[in-house]
Structure 1
Amino acid sequence: MKHLFLLVAISFTVVSCSTTKDLHSKEFVRTQQELTEKLTQLSKTASFNGFGVALVNDKEVLYQNGFGVSDITTSAKYTENTVQNIASVSKTVIGLAILKAQELGKLNLDDPINNYLPFNVFNPKYPEVPITNGHLVTHTSSIVDTEEYLTRNVVLKDTINLAHNLGIDISPTRFNPPPAKTSLEGFLKNLLDTEGEWYSKEAFSEKKPGSIYEYSNVGASLAALVLEQAVGTTYDKFTTQYILRPLKMNASGWSFDAIDFSNYSLTYQDKQTPYPYYSLIGYPDGGLLTTSSDMSKYTLELMKGYIGKGTILSKQSYKEYFTPQLTAENFINRSTSEYSDEYNMGITMGFGSTGNFGHTGGDPGMFSVIWFFKDKKMGRYFIVNTDWDAEASGKDQKAIYDLLDEYYIKLNSLSKASE
């Protein structure tokens, strides 16, 4: 749930980097090893316990690795195969899934969402203006995150130390006991249906649907529910069939049961204090569980998709995915930061003011970002397993980015795909 947390912090150790070394020159492998050594040194003093990275050009994965620890009690290493939730970076999958469903003839971006939903959703200030699928995936639906959404979405995995864990401050959200877990449909119906248990007119802004960009976690999850109704299967099954498995993201999934839990990383409040395990009821908006290795495959696919050579969507669909959909009139407060993903929106893919694109994410005990530099044809992924320290973590992040940028130039020039 991006916008709800800025997190980070801990320290790291070395793991092996795996890109198919036998296919590359000795100099390429040696350059990878140099990067590993430098990142390992950095991890020893970093403000977060563990982190993962991936680096791609438009043809292959150049580097992927993990550093530090995933469990300070056992000293388990954080590796490229360590599993973590990636928070709102998960939303980029929603756009791919919606466009895949459109390719299959199951829905259209211009369709009103009430053509599909088992309950009606409308802005009570503009009951005559239909909310469309396109509005949901560009955050212009006028649906906003209410306190009910924020305080009910995060659910503990188990009842261990339940009283203590329920009291942990993760404002503006909070942990809920395991029995609070409900279906995506039931959750959204209670929030957005006029007959819903938690319904409030405050779930809708004063703006007309389609007019103003307002980042909406609940709107993103609603897009996933629309997809479920349109294709006749659950969001997790659809995305696994059409996205995760085709990309061989075999260590990834949308629930603890779908991944190898022995590889799952703890997340941390600080370098000494772990959070309890938790999941999201609105899991499509932030609940993908994955590894740096799998995310390197995902990052590569998106980079290829941007240049018209992707495999999971058609060239036309990828063009739509990566086309900024909004204009200046759609923004009230528009971020012009080069690295903000909210200067414009594709189909759940954010754009910065320079035209580079990507998405960030944050939940209790973690921060993630996937970012693409269109001119360099470079994709970069970064994730940590500790709450963000406003002063220290930003410096660590910059140091990591500086190394990745420096070694991208070297590895890209030595890439077997460049020969």
Structure 2
Amino acid sequence: MIGIKRRCSSRCSAFLTRRDRGGGRPSTGAWRHALQRCRGLTNRASEGDNHNTCKRYLRNGTREEGETIAKPDKVLSKLQEVADRRSILGLSCAYLIRGRVVWKGSLGLADLERRIPVTERTVFRIASISKTIGAAAILQLAERGQCSLDDDAGRLLGLPLRHPQHPEQPIRLRHLLTHTSGLQDEYAAFAAASRQEPLLPLSELLLPGGAYHPPRLWGEHPPGDPAGYAYSNLGAIVLATIVERLSGERFDRYCRKQLLLPLGMSDSSFLLQDIEDPDRIAVLYERERGSGSWTPALDDRGSRHEPPSAALRDYVPGVNGSLFAPQGGLRTTVADLSRWLEMLAAGGERGGVRLLRERTVRDMMDKHWFRDPQEGFYREGGLQLQRTRDLFPGRLMVGHAGDAYGLKSGMFVEPETGTGFVYAMNGLDDAKDGYVFTAAETELAQAMTDIFRKR
């Protein structure tokens, strides 16, 4: 453990202390930011109060003077206006300032039939944001020396995995993390069969001659070519299976034990049975745009995707990670997901618990590929993270969106400032315009920004 102390100003008796259990030094920018904030508070404090304001800021992250933290009723009123205008059935969201949650709130219904409201404890199947958990699992194993991002994924799987048009080039872990492996999004039939036959090996999908090997499994570009970017849920399944082979544990158990529970995310799991109260799970709804009725699409009491108990009892880790839907099957609350975003915003650590090294998270957020020309929903990305300027126009936000079975979700933070936004909607009568965010999503983001901006 490294302890570093600096005097926060010549007038102040408090010290700024940073303890990094990962062993790395805090960045110069992080020190500069903290010291400037501390000096500003110190200069406003009187000599008589022994600079308690400054000490409290350093200890608890107390907001500085002049920053408006809006009343909860005002925030919900603004969000309700957006919900009414855009026909949002149920909504839960949170807002971050300087990497810390300053507000959480919910409105609408989690279950239309039973009139159960959305609350802070409502659990959503969060869709593709789930991929960030699987990515963190791979990165954590890499930090522990069990793999490298340049390793051949086929070797780690124990399969001769090669792009048929480019067999001389290995498919590396980083290619799977950036959707540039060449694998297309052809996995639905295999995933459905896996729920009935959990020991169905992944080779039946990936290798020629397999029972579920589709004719259009591969794109034209070689692995690692940004021009061949193709968003692939299958890539997340391959990564989850590799996590199992490296760790010897089921994917859901590894993630819950090594990533989720250490952050206090007790309402989060890739296994539905871990959610103790099923009445807290939001039903996901769809309806044709402009029509009057909502139709349950997933997670009502009769349509929850979950592996049967017998499948879990007989399952062998490393055979078929699709059983736990690593591409989109994480169930979590917005409160829990906010903890995950706080960890990323802080460089891999939250509440004294370090999951990843700071440089690992920085690499995760950095630009690894970009689309030229800049078009479509995914225009540039990191390691299973999206980089976008569409949610908060003109501001680079890093995170991930989710869109499945009627759910719309998002988890984004601005790396430079720590401003962040987490949201989940279980029903929305609003289509994407030009493959960017829906009007509901951008209006929610704008409303939150307007409310919490500094005066």
Query: What TM-score range do you get, normalising by the shorter chain?
Result: 0.7 to 0.9
Which residue in 1 is equivalent to 2:374?
A: 335
Normalising by structure 1, what TM-score? 0.77
Partners of 2:100 and 2:418 within 8 A in 1? no
Q: Structure 1 residues 33, 187: closer, same or farther in 2, change over 3 A?
A: farther
Cα distance in 2 for partners of 1:254, 1:307 equals 22
Structure 1 counterpart of 2:325, from 269, 280, 283: 283
Letter in 2 for 1:290: T
Pair member with larger Rg: 2
Superposition deviation, residue 239 in structure 1: 1.1
Cα distance in 2 for partners of 1:209, 1:81 equals 41
Identity percentage of aligned residues: 25
Which residue in 2 is equivalent to 1:362?
A: 403
Cα distance in 2 for partners of 1:239, 1:343 equals 28
Which residue in 2 is equivalent to 1:6?
A: none
Partners of 1:117 and 1:226 within 8 A in 2? yes
* Counterpart secondary structure, 1:245: helix
Which residue in 1 is equivalent to 2:426?
A: 385
Cα distance in 2 for partners of 1:48, 1:58 equals 28
Partners of 2:259 and 2:355 within 8 A in 1? yes
Cα distance in 2 for partners of 1:320, 1:391 equals 30
Superposition deviation, residue 227 in structure 1: 1.6
* Counterpart secondary structure, 1:62: strand
Cα distance in 1 for partners of 2:131, 2:150 equals 19
Superposition deviation, residue 30 in structure 1: 5.6
Normalising by structure 2, what TM-score? 0.71
Corresponding position: 1:241 with 2:253: no
Which residue in 1 is equivalent to 2:238?
A: 222
Superposition deviation, residue 180 in structure 1: 4.4
Q: Structure 1 residues 141, 79: closer, same or farther in 2, change over 3 A?
A: same
Partners of 1:66 and 1:292 within 8 A in 2? no
Which residue in 2 is equivalent to 1:352?
A: 388
Q: Could you tell me which runs of 5 or more consecutive residues in structure 1 were left unpaired when the two chains were aligned.
A: 1-22, 156-175, 414-419
Structure 2 counterpart of 1:296, from 306, 322, 338: 338
* Counterpart secondary structure, 1:186: coil
Q: Could you tell me which runs of 5 or more consecutive residues in structure 2 were left unpaired when the two chains were aligned.
A: 1-61, 288-292, 306-321, 390-394
Superposition deviation, residue 42 in structure 1: 4.2
Structure 2 counterpart of 1:140, from 180, 198, 203: 180
Cα distance in 2 for partners of 1:72, 1:241 equals 34
Cα distance in 2 for partners of 1:318, 1:75 equals 41
Letter in 2 for 1:317: T
Residue correspondence of structure 1 range 20-419 to structure 2 within 5 A: 31-44=71-84, 46-146=86-186, 149-153=187-191, 180-183=195-198, 186=200, 188-211=202-225, 212-260=228-276, 261-270=278-287, 271-276=293-298, 277-279=303-305, 281=323, 283-305=325-347, 311-326=354-369, 331=371, 334-336=373-375, 340=377, 342-352=378-388, 355-390=396-431, 394-410=438-454
Which residue in 1 is equivalent to 2:41?
A: none
Give the CA RMSD over aligned residues: 3.0
Letter in 2 for 1:321: M
Cα distance in 1 for partners of 2:438, 2:361 equals 32
Partners of 1:102 and 1:109 within 8 A in 2? yes
Runs of 4 or more off by more than 6 Å in structure 1? 306-310
Letter in 1 for 2:360: S
**What CA deviation, in whole Å up to 9, does each residue of 1:110-144 have, x standing for no partner?**
00012211333211112221111111101111111
Partners of 2:190 and 2:205 within 8 A in 1? no
Cα distance in 1 for partners of 2:95, 2:69 equals 14
**What CA deviation, in whole Å up to 9, does each residue of 1:179-220 have, x standing for no partner?**
84443x736322102342111352111211111322111012
Superposition deviation, residue 382 in structure 1: 1.6
Q: Structure 1 residues 321, 77: closer, same or farther in 2, change over 3 A?
A: same
**What CA deviation, in whole Å up to 9, does each residue of 1:278-309 have, x standing for no partner?**
43746111111001111121121111128999
Letter in 2 for 1:403: A
Cα distance in 2 for partners of 1:69, 1:256 equals 21
Letter in 2 for 1:55: Y
Letter in 2 for 1:231: S
Cα distance in 1 for partners of 2:87, 2:384 equals 30
Q: Structure 1 residues 359, 391: closer, same or farther in 2, change over 3 A?
A: closer
Cα distance in 2 for partners of 1:255, 1:369 equals 21
Cα distance in 2 for partners of 1:395, 1:360 equals 14
